Structure 1
Amino acid sequence: MPPKGRKRAYKLPETLPEGEVLRDIRKKEWKLGKPIGQGGFGMIYRASENTPGKSKGDGTFVIKIEPHENGPLYTELHFYQRAAQAEEVTKWQKQQKLSHLGVPKLCGFGSHDCQGIKYRFLVMPLFGEDIWKKYLACNKKFTPGIVFALTIQVLDALEYLHEKDYVHADIKSANLLLGYSQKDKNKVFLADYGLVNRYRPDGKHREYKEFPKKGHNGTPEFTSIDAHLGVSPSRRGDIQILGYVMLQWLCTTLPWENKLTDLDYVMKQKIKYSKDVPGLLKACFTSSYPSELKTFLTYAFQMGYDEKPDYNKLRTLCRTVIKREGIKEGSVFDFGSQSSDVPTGSPVISKKRKASSKEREPSQGRKMSKDDEPGPSGAASRAPPKKRSTSAKESGVDHLIRKTQDISIKSRKVSSSVTAQKVAPCYFTRSTKKNSSS
């Protein structure tokens, strides 16, 4: 169980020795490799199964560890236990006849004692690069084929989560990871379940209620309109967020990205454009865009709060684009051949606007509501800022470390400077900005 009471910060664990063996609740043993990341509450290590002949550094797993007295890892663990057990993910994948389902599988979990300290840990597969890094490498623009091919896999993952009564609430490039092995480079995984929420906890959808004091929960660029208004996350929110991500992939900069520190402004811009999709697209593109994007966004904004998304309709839209682009579904993403040409589709002429030249990861402006279920009590603090290495020769695990921008929601006072942090958010549940109750 998560710790009782409320805290504003969590105690970071001591670095455990390489080669330390952890035994999960099923008595399976795991051997720690080197630490590859640190969050606001714990550490992450590369790991391997503790079998003869297996060295410490060649594992294809990661282990997330936090002191038992903390609690944020409990939130994510509870989600995996309820909705992402390996057998459940595999069963759904077979039922839907999918060659891939991008929901990370829980490989093991348990408690571990080391030097008088009790730790909670969780074992997951090791993933490859995140889509945010690929996006930057492509000069912050993907071709329509890449965008809609990625979207199909995200929709598959969201349909699974929604059927399990959960919504993700924080879809973005940084939380989309490619497979680690060469054969899995065409597979996308939706990670980071720090804001996961049960929209139907007792078999009945939550009621639509606005709570302004709980507003702006999520990543400002992509947060759904509901979340801005403090409404409990729903399936339509996930579809809206995905639509914003797709839009950014195609146009580089969203209309409200120039004032991300003004969250009320961001919210008002999204509300305005939700009623004027042609105006939104005109503000984003100077020439042309895929007409299917307009259809996708219009659908997302017209959904009812408790409405079930028509996943097949949205996937059909995506397949129309990738077929037109000559991309075979399931093929390896050819990020290296990205073109600077304008995306094909229905032409829309707009006024020119200046796009931000600052290459950064989507900012973090999040807090957990007490309605989130399940969840630990208390809030976590972020790790101290660290400079990101600019070396062109990144190791196999360096891709896990990326920048995050920290925006304080509780006080609504935001610094004008962007703080870069070196963390492993792909695996860590995000630090939160407001106390939550379990």
Structure 2
Amino acid sequence: MTGRLWSVKPPIMPIGIVATLVIVSGCRLAGIPGGVSVSPPGESLPISGGNEVIGAEIEGALDTSTEDSTASEEVLPDASMDEEQILEIATVLPIGGPPGLAEFAQLIAEGVEIAALELSEPLLDVRITSLDDQGDPALTGSLIGDLGDSSIRGVIGFLEDSSLEIAGNARQIALPLVSPTARSASRAGVGVYSLEGPDPVAAEEMARYAFEYGYMRIAVLHSQSSESVQEANAFEEMSRALGLPVVGRYAYQVGATSFGEEIIGAQNALRAAEIAALGLEEDDTLDVELLEPVALFVPIPSEDVEFVAPQVVHYGLDTLAIDILGTSGWTDSQVLETVDLRHTTGVVATASVGHAEDRNTSIQFREAYERHFQRSLISGVPALGYDTALLLIEGLKGGAESPEEIRIAIEGLHEIEGAAGVYSLVDGRILRLTEVVYIDEGILLPVG
């Protein structure tokens, strides 16, 4: 993941030793109760093939007796050994890495564990092996290389761009890799996916909104990162196709914290175009209500919003009737919680459809998480881990064998509802279903 990870401080509980969990009752997000084997987060352990169980009893969900587990398997006449599909997946996460990264990784691992438990069925046994790359990209590559001769069908993890790229290039076979956070999937090879990354479809959606709203012209401010550039390109191409003029593009360096030159450049370009359109002189003045509707499109990653948004206000774009448009970086939950509300209020941007926590899958995920871990879910990060695993499992459970068959199966997924969004594969990318929203005091209000 480029930039920094947002700091999260929920209580972390150790999960225990390698185990096979036999689900006998409890809430399900999909399917019906079935067996699942899980190697807990934080330990580089092989997949469990026995009937061991975690020592801590989860009331109403887990049977903690080895004998009872065996008995449960014996009384399932419909799940014959010949018919059962064992789906083995690995996680490669920096559980032993720097504290902030490790804490984030632990939460992702918890979401993956819930997915393995909840998505297993009588004839589908999902098993997770947890591998720790300690935040070391070189170790990431080594771990992935070693999986070439294993029975692992896919891998989840790789929180940072460098880790995902190295993992993609280290594969001996086209093992599918899915990251919840990295933005470098397009540079990591075929069969590599991420929940994050450029969303040209959302950028095109914003161009259509700008045209329908009646903006006369647009300027674009974006990062020089590949992802931001791709969204800016998609917006500009759609705008031109619709006949909406883009009067200038202004790109800042990755990691920059001062954007005055770019913001002033965009402001001047919009003003110069308006002066020319209205036949005015440079020193002529107009009441703000007489100005033509114009906007600045800012498709930037969420970690840049806290630096860009205050400077947009500082340079007075709102006083010049220049509206701000954006993509989903502006509607990220951490942005809404941490950036001063006056710096984001009034922005129109895309947001993941189903961002509200009252969706069925979100509620069911929360219930499953809290029952399994016996504590409240206070972070949105585990939902990302769940959704990452959900997409991989959905793509693999159909029985595809060859790398090409697996790629086709995964890239054929459409409108899969997860705990944090609704996902489809478009041109080999995981994209969330989005809608255009207006940000008002941290609240996302659907437009139209």
TM-score in terms of structure 1 length: 0.29
Higher strand fraction: Structure 1 or Structure 2? 2
Q: Which has more radius of gyration?
A: 2
Q: With a CA cutoff of 8 Å and minimum separation of 6, indicate the structure with the bigger relative contact order.
A: 1
TM-score of the superposed pair, with normalisation by structure 2: 0.28
In terms of fraction of residues, the more helix-rich structure is 2
